[in-house]
Amino acid sequence: MTDRTGSRVAVLISGNGSNLQAILDACADGTIANARVVGVVSNRRKAYGLVRAEKAGVEQVYFPLGPFRKAHPGTDRAAYDVALAERVAALSPDLIVLAGWMHILSADFLDAVPCPVLNLHPALPGAFPGTGAIARAFEAARAGKLTHTGVMVHHVIPEIDAGPVVATAEVPIHADDDLEALTARMHAVEHTLLVQAVDLVLNPPQVA
């Protein structure tokens, strides 16, 4: 029988998993109230986020596109998205969080999962959708086109890095920044904002 004590969170990652770690820690210490991570899904076998999940005693799921298509000749991308959604849905999540998941999810996935899906993106709404957002913001600042960038957490829709925004935070770009310094500052903001957004969605303020 599935344990329904508290909210169940599934996290999709593709890399180091530092934002996953922020969620794991926040669930453990109550910053995200009454919730726990019940599964971590990666499309990359060597993603360190899977190691973080193992250390935390959380189920790890490796579900890559290439091997899936080899095992199911003639299938299209939609078939993978539906199969991925079914595997994630088997975790019985109340919320799915994309925390560095480097794989665009289609409407086929979104229609097949039973709960909201949040995405973390290192840019402000409407700015720098897609990959390389931090580097693109840095180059724009060097060209004198902006003085700050930011981070947002939003509900996922089929359009890339769009959807209703849950939370945002601005991050200044200093004149003496290099890309490494800006990236480190962005990651620190990401960790905090993602935790706040997940808690807000799972534990919305009570209306008097």
Q: Show which residues are catalytic.
A: 121
Rounded Cα distance between 93 and 193, Å, is: 21
DSSP string covering 116-140: -EEEEESS-TTSS-SS-HHHHHHHH
Q: How many Cβ atoms sit within 10 Å of the Cβ of residue 105?
A: 21
H or E element that contains 120 = strand 117-121
Measured N-to-C along each axis, helices 133-142 and 179-202 cross at an angle, to the nearest 10 degrees, of: 130
Rounded Cα distance between 58 and 56, Å, is: 5
Per-residue tokens: 98: 């994309």
Q: Are 34 and 24 in contact (CB under 8 A)?
A: no
